[in-house]
């Protein structure tokens, strides 16, 4: 359960801002999201010091407004302007807190870049996060989505998430169980706006068995000439795969995989596999299986399609792209068309990974 954490945090430097935050009215958000669609916020608050949050949230001009916590903008699609307060955590810091035998407990500020933190962990000799390299976004956004890739999910390494609880009006920490992590889900996602994540505590091993069973990883390691991979080798293999499969948001607007891989019961998976032998199916616990959303979308003919300035990447059927000038509403209409077509063909309703506003 959440526990008070006021005494667990040291004061952070305020980066030259007396209040530790900056409020911008009528703020443009396009450059703060990887889709790059036009959208504005009535107010944008850049928070450089987590201790400034109580003062900011107590301001009467913001209390009655809707609130959105925005990380790196890689998991959100704006279909309209936001009529409230967008709060962006920009605090920085990485600290090794405790050593537990072959594991270290590391506290990372929410405003740190996730990919840069993964690379830092590898440089420091840690294992575990190598499969999560090159995922865009901030550290604070990672537990919100319970990010995962190539057979690894963030929740495996979470010791605690530190946050401001807007309902309780205090800083708290939630242990892994309290975070209620699930596939691309968490308590933070189910209750948006309640918790403002400020830091993340991770327990990372200094050694471990590399995860190379996910399709493509072992083959890429073979191509790289690696027989006994270290974490850095796996990271290179995953990074190479991601760069080949996924378009760079810096070059063309996108949010990576737009739809979750659906989870169905095994009888449904067996039925689909019988009719579609090439369909990738991954067995899960409890008479369930995860199936490839990319296959379903590609089978329905959407890979490489384009509707105005919105489209589906030619490189990966799961990736919706902004070819330049697309509105969020255009991308969402295309996503709805894909979702409805897949449901009609396969009897499965796809769920988007990004938050749709």
Which residues form the catalytic set?
184, 257, 353
Give the C-alpha separation, 355 to 22, whole Å: 25
* SS3 assignment for 249-300: CCCCEEEEECECCCEEEHHHHHHHHHHCCCCCEEEECCCEEEECHHHHHHHC
Q: How far apart are CA 166 and CA 9, in angstroms?
A: 18
DSSP string across 132-158: GTT--SBTTHHHHHT-EETTEEGGGGE
Strand partners for 69: 87
Q: Nearest Cα to 293, choosing from 334, 252, 260, 256?
A: 260
In the numeric block, which tokens belong to residue 156?
């495996």
> Residue 138 corresponds to which tokens in the numbers above?
């901030």
What are 301's two structure tokens? 């003919």
CA distance 210 to 277: 29
Measure the CA–CA gap between 41 and 27, rounded to whole angstroms.
5
In this structure, is the dihedral angle defined by the CA atoms of residues 186, 187, 192 and 196, taken in order, positive or negative? Answer: negative
Query: Which 8-state DSSP code applies to residue 106?
Result: E
């Amino acid at each position: 359960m959440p526990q008070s954490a006021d005494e667990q945090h040291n004061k952070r430097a305020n980066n030259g801002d007396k209040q530790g935050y900056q409020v911008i009215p009528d703020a443009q958000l396009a450059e703060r999201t990887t889709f790059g669609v036009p959208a504005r916020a009535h107010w944008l608050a850049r928070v450089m010091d987590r201790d400034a949050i109580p003062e900011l949230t107590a301001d009467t001009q913001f209390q009655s407004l809707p609130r959105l916590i925005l990380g790196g903008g890689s998991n959100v699609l704006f279909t309209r302007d936001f009529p409230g307060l967008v709060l962006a955590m920009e605090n920085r810091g990485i600290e090794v807190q405790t050593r537990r035998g072959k594991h270290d407990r590391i506290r990372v500020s929410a405003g740190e870049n996730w990919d840069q933190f993964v690379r830092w962990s590898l440089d420091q000799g840690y294992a575990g996060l190598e499969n999560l390299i090159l995922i865009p976004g901030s550290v604070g956004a990672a537990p919100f989505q319970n990010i995962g890739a190539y057979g690894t999910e963030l929740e495996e390494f979470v010791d605690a998430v530190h946050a401001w609880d807007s309902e309780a009006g205090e800083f708290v920490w939630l242990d892994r169980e309290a975070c209620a992590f699930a596939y691309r889900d968490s308590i933070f996602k189910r209750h948006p706006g309640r918790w403002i994540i400020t830091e993340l505590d991770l327990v990372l091993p200094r050694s471990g068995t590399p995860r190379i069973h996910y399709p493509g990883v072992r083959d890429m390691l073979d191509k790289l000439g690696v027989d006994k991979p270290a974490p850095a080798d796996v990271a290179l293999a995953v990074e190479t795969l991601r760069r080949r499969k996924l378009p760079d948001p810096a070059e063309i607007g996108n949010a990576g995989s737009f739809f979750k891989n659906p989870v169905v019961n095994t009888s449904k998976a067996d039925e689909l596999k019988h009719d579609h032998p090439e369909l990738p199916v991954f067995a899960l616990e409890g008479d369930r299986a995860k199936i490839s959303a990319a296959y379903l979308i590609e089978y329905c003919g959407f890979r490489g399609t384009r509707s105005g300035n919105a489209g589906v990447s030619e490189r990966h059927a799961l990736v919706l792209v902004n070819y330049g000038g697309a509105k969020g509403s255009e991308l969402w209409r295309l996503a709805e068309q894909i979702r409805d077509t897949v449901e009609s063909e396969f009897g499965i309703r796809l769920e988007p990974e990004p938050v749709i506003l």
